[in-house]
């Protein structure tokens, strides 16, 4: 559209598609990753990172901080084997005038820098080149913009190294600023919605947590993140189409958070019993799978059906020795029974994919964590146990995948041990 002064290389179709796609993502973590990827693709940025605003309350008052939540870098990604992901340093910066991201958030202003190594001397902020020094990456152009609508600031996106059609790094243009300013409004709305969804889920989990203190917001967040890492690698290996992956990982993240929600229906006498459970108590405890599944029995959406599947099957064992076995969660009736009339355990691929994934993620996190009845295990003990349970408790394919994505899993563990609500 040359008459409006906007260059023809801005892909308006891509922007429209992006807006509608963001509207469909429900989980905040999946959304943030996607927002960054889409922002980069709209203006062809080689790399970028996304930060969320979070207030830290201390004795001497409240400080607004920006926490990094995702970083992407195509140049560095190409150096990795296919399917592998990059980790990035986890850090936060105060919202003040000293860092570029902090300044952008503080002033609510877009900052467009042609060359990070030649920032005007009178600028209040400076460029932290430690990433370049550590990795050999050369940052040149950058565009940092607030994720905000009206006066509500939710975070900041920093894009690096805009690349032209011939692969040269060029400065970000005024058109880029304009397009991203609009994109930021859609991103803000999508994030606000996803925050509401997350808050509702965390509230449900707190209800279960009142019963079982081990089921905390950070435990379920970690289990959900590990599950997504396991699934991503599996989906890569099995060539799952991109669209299907996007939908599944979004639903999986939410469903995995709710894996033990059925514990709301188990009595305190059992959940908080300090010693070993009797056989009868253990049988009652196992029912949290059926109670959890029945919460989603109306199955209004895909996320409901996946949450139901996960709640029901996350304690099934690959070798068929798990629980609750072949039971219909809606009617409570046994579908397949042994000679004693007990439900037969699901085994192998009878256990739905999401149930097999969450089993690995949940057990790993429980082993790493201190519980009322046990100390946290050492990493060596945990990893040995994960191997040991391959083919018994776990699908062997997912144990192999677990070891392949272990660096990402450890990264998620650190990310979700930060003191954040989201
Ligand atoms: Fe459970
Ligand atoms: Fe759990």
The tens digit of pLDDT for each residue in 296-317 reads: 988 778 999 999 999 999 999 9
The whole-angstrom separation of Cα 248 and Cα 354 is 9
Instruction: Write the pLDDT tens digit of every residue in 128-160.
Output: 899 899 999 999 999 999 999 888 899 999 999
Asked if 358 contacts 310 with a C-beta cutoff of 8 angstroms, the reply is yes
Highest averaged pLDDT of the listed ranges 82-91, 237-246, 325-334: 237-246
Q: How large is the average pLDDT for residues 30-45? A: 95
For residue 227, the ligand closest to its alpha carbon is 2
For residue 312, the ligand closest to its alpha carbon is 1
- Does the pLDDT value for residue 26 go beyond 60? yes
Cα 365 to ligand 1 centre (Å): 12
Q: Which residues contact 399 (CB under 8 A, 6 or more apart)?
A: 360, 386, 387, 389, 390, 391
The dihedral region occupied by 61, where left means phi > 0, alpha psi between -120 and 50, and beta the remainder, is left
Return the pLDDT at 213: 66
Return the pLDDT at 217: 79
Cα 391 to ligand 1 centre (Å): 19
Cα 259 to ligand 2 centre (Å): 7
pTM, 2 dp: 0.89
- Does the pLDDT value for residue 53 go beyond 60? yes
Highest averaged pLDDT of the listed ranges 52-61, 100-109, 199-208, 269-278: 100-109
Cα 407 to ligand 1 centre (Å): 25
For residue 220, the ligand closest to its alpha carbon is 2
The whole-angstrom separation of Cα 261 and Cα 295 is 9
For residue 223, the ligand closest to its alpha carbon is 2
Q: How large is the average pLDDT for residues 96-107? A: 95
- How far apart, in Å, are the Cα atoms of 168 and each of 44, 196, 317? 11, 41, 53
**Across 5-19, 85-99, 169-183, 237-251, least confident range:** 5-19
Cα 254 to ligand 2 centre (Å): 13
Assign 9 a pLDDT band (cuts: 50, 70, 90).
low
Cα 236 to ligand 1 centre (Å): 28
Return the pLDDT at 372: 66
Q: How large is the average pLDDT for residues 236-253? A: 95
Cα 420 to ligand 1 centre (Å): 24
Cα 362 to ligand 1 centre (Å): 8
Cα 128 to ligand 1 centre (Å): 44
**Structural domains of the chain in order of their starting residue, each with its CATH number:** 12-194 (3.30.450.40), 212-416 (1.10.3210.10)
Assign 181 a pLDDT band (cuts: 50, 70, 90).
very high
Q: Supply the mean pLDDT for the chain.
A: 90
Return the pLDDT at 393: 97
Asked if 363 contacts 315 with a C-beta cutoff of 8 angstroms, the reply is no
Beta bridge partners of 129: none
The whole-angstrom separation of Cα 87 and Cα 410 is 10
For residue 362, the ligand closest to its alpha carbon is 2
Q: How large is the average pLDDT for residues 236-249? A: 95
Return the pLDDT at 4: 44
Helix (H/G/I), strand (E/B), else coil: 1: coil
The dihedral region occupied by 377, where left means phi > 0, alpha psi between -120 and 50, and beta the remainder, is beta
Q: Which residues contact 128 (CB under 8 A, 6 or more apart)?
A: 99
Sign (positive/negative) of CA torsion 36, 361, 327, 265?
Answer: negative
Cα 101 to ligand 1 centre (Å): 41
Under DSSP, the state recorded for 213 is T
The whole-angstrom separation of Cα 359 and Cα 317 is 8
- Does the pLDDT value for residue 176 go beyond 90? yes
Instruction: Write the pLDDT tens digit of every residue in 353-394.
Output: 999 999 999 999 999 987 766 778 899 999 999 999 999 999
- How far apart, in Å, are the Cα atoms of 47 and each of 119, 194, 363? 19, 24, 35
Cα 257 to ligand 1 centre (Å): 11
Cα 267 to ligand 2 centre (Å): 17
């Amino acid at each position: 559209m040359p008459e409006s002064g906007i260059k023809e290389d801005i892909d308006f179709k891509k922007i429209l598609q992006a807006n509608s796609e963001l509207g469909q993502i429900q989980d905040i973590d999946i959304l943030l990753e996607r927002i960054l990827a889409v922002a980069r693709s709209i203006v062809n940025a080689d790399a970028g990172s996304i930060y969320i605003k979070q207030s830290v309350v201390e004795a001497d008052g409240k400080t607004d901080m920006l926490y990094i939540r995702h970083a992407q870098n195509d140049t560095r990604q190409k150096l990795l084997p296919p399917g592998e992901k990059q980790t990035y340093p986890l850090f936060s910066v105060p919202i003040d005038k000293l860092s570029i991201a902090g300044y952008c958030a503080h002033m609510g202003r877009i900052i467009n820098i042609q060359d990070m190594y030649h920032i005007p001397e009178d600028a209040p902020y400076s460029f932290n080149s430690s990433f370049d020094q550590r990795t050999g990456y050369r940052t040149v152009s950058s565009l940092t913009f607030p994720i905000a609508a009206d006066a509500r600031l939710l975070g900041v996106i920093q894009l690096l190294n805009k690349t032209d059609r011939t692969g040269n790094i060029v400065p970000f243009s005024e058109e880029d600023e304009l397009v991203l300013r609009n994109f930021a409004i859609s991103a803000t709305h999508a994030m606000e919605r996803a925050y509401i969804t997350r808050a509702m889920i965390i509230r449900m989990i707190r209800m279960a947590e009142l019963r079982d203190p081990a089921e905390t917001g950070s435990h379920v967040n970690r289990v959900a993140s590990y599950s997504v890492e396991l699934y991503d690698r599996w989906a890569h290996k099995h060539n799952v189409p991109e669209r299907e992956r996007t939908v599944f990982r979004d639903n999986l993240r939410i469903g995995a958070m709710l894996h033990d929600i059925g514990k709301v229906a188990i009595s305190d006498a059992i959940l908080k019993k300090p010693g070993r459970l009797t056989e009868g108590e253990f049988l009652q405890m196992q029912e949290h799978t059926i109670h959890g599944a029945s919460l989603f029995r109306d199955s209004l959406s895909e996320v409901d059906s996946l949450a139901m599947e996960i709640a029901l099957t996350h304690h099934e064992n690959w070798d068929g020795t798990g629980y609750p076995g072949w039971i219909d969660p809606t009617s409570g009736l046994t579908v397949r029974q042994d000679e004693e009339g007990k439900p037969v355990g699901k085994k192998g691929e009878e256990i739905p994919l999401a149930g097999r994934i969450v089993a690995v993620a949940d057990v790993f996190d429980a082993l790493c964590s201190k519980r009322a009845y046990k100390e946290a295990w050492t990493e060596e003990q945990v990893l040995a146990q994960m191997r040991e349970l391959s083919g018994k408790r776990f699908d062997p394919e997912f144990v192999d995948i677990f070891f392949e994505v272990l660096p990402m899993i450890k990264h998620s563990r650190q990310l979700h041990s930060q003191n954040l609500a989201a």
